[in-house]
Amino acid sequence: MKITASVTISLATILLRHVAEGFAYIDPSNGSIPGGNKKTEKIENEMQQSAVLLPDCDPQLLKEHAQFAYELADAARLEILPYWRQSRHTLGQEIKVEKDRSVFQSASPVTLADRAAERAMRELITERYPQHGVYGEEYGVIREDADWVWVLDPIDGTRSFITGKPLFGTLIACLYKGTPVIGVIDQCILNERWLGLAGQVSTLNGEPIQTDGVVTLNEAEMYSTTPDMFQHGDELNKFDAMRHAVKTPHYGADCYAYALVASGFGADIVVEADLGLYDYCALVPVLQGAGGSISDWNGVELTLQNHEISKGRVLACANAKLHEQALEILSKPGLESSDSLDVDDPSLTLLEDDIASSTFIPSAQRLTPWVGGIIVGDILEQILHHGS
């Protein structure tokens, strides 16, 4: 009970602080972000990779669209918040079935909140920019060949949303000729909003961010939403090789994991597969503008044109060195594993923190102290031995 109370107080404190601070919006008159210049010069000098502004992309128009992306995120919030931690009946949960997808993606939940948020955003886009294309998870694609295309995922992490876990996010991307040039990750419960804008340093609530990762895989903290998103065979074998190469694999954060990497909050790598275009386009400018590297498993750029080639396989790393090492594993053709992950193995234990993360742990020996769960490995080891 003491731990639960402490967690509750800490979360409440964080929420109150974010509400008090509010958001720093882009000033449409000059494109600047209030409070965003304090660390900008230092971060720009240290960035390993930055989103590149296409030569024929109007910078002023880009800033205008970035401000509009904030308006879209605000509109989505208004639709999502009334459904937060409501009953299944109120949420109107349904199961969306898709063929030829992974175990995880073949039957995914959708709620009234998902649909209402996407409708609200699409209506604003149609009203403001009727010539723009829209690529949404819930209502499909229109004008995909337009120069400017908005890619929308109203709730990335619906499973977290319907179980009351604040690790979902609204993803809003704007593509110029197929390349993501604007990305917003919005977490409406924790009042956190990340912005990635081509050619500029990414921000969290208006403050510049920078990745802060380790440089070797064996030191790295890696996230994936679930082992079930990897197809059995080569995909799962490569994931298993990554799982054994890193220090600790974590699960269950969806888009929030990418935001953690971009912000330098302790996560170093995200490896995922079978993602839709709407699952990753917004992440690209945020990661790149923070100094991170993001591509498919073969190092190919993540764009609208490359989606079919990439097959929804995404690798995001805090820096280029980690990215290169991970690609050595993920890009190998026909990787065979004698110790591939068996998700039905009863010896694998999933320990899920109610607030921050979940960690897939094969044995007590893999346990390490981690602040997010407010649990120390040696204590858990004693508990596990006591219960066996």
The answer to whether 220 and 329 have CB atoms below 8 angstroms apart is no
The DSSP letter of residue 18 is H
* 155 is annotated as contributing to ligand binding: yes
Find how far residue 250's CA is from the centre of its chain.
13
User: What is the C-alpha separation between 314 and 186, in angstroms, rounded?
Assistant: 20
Residue 331: CB atoms within 10 A of its CB come to 16
Q: Which residues contact 163 (CB under 8 A, 6 or more apart)?
A: none
User: What is the C-alpha separation between 206 and 37, in angstroms, rounded?
Assistant: 9
Q: Which residues contact 204 (CB under 8 A, 6 or more apart)?
A: 192, 193, 194, 259, 263
Strand-strand pairing, 169-176 and 148-156: antiparallel
Strand-strand pairing, 207-208 and 221-224: unpaired
User: What is the C-alpha separation between 282 and 271, in angstroms, rounded?
Assistant: 16
User: What is the C-alpha separation between 109 and 138, in angstroms, rounded?
Assistant: 11
In a 13 Å sphere around the CA of 125, the CA atoms on its Cβ side amount to 29
* 274 is annotated as contributing to ligand binding: no
The answer to whether 150 and 134 have CB atoms below 8 angstroms apart is yes
The DSSP letter of residue 110 is E
* 145 is annotated as contributing to ligand binding: no
* Token pair 């995880």 in the structure block, residue: 104
The answer to whether 213 and 317 have CB atoms below 8 angstroms apart is yes
* 156 is annotated as contributing to ligand binding: yes
- Crossing angle of the two packed helices 112-128 and 59-80, in degrees rounded to 10: 150
The answer to whether 257 and 284 have CB atoms below 8 angstroms apart is no
Nearest to 91 by CA among 109, 73, 76, 77: 109
User: What is the C-alpha separation between 204 and 217, in angstroms, rounded?
Assistant: 26
Residue 178 CB burial class (10 angstroms; 0-12, 13-18, ≥19) = middle
> Residues annotated as binding site for Mg(2+)?
137, 153, 155-156, 279
Q: Which residues are annotated binding-site positions?
A: 137, 153, 155-156, 279
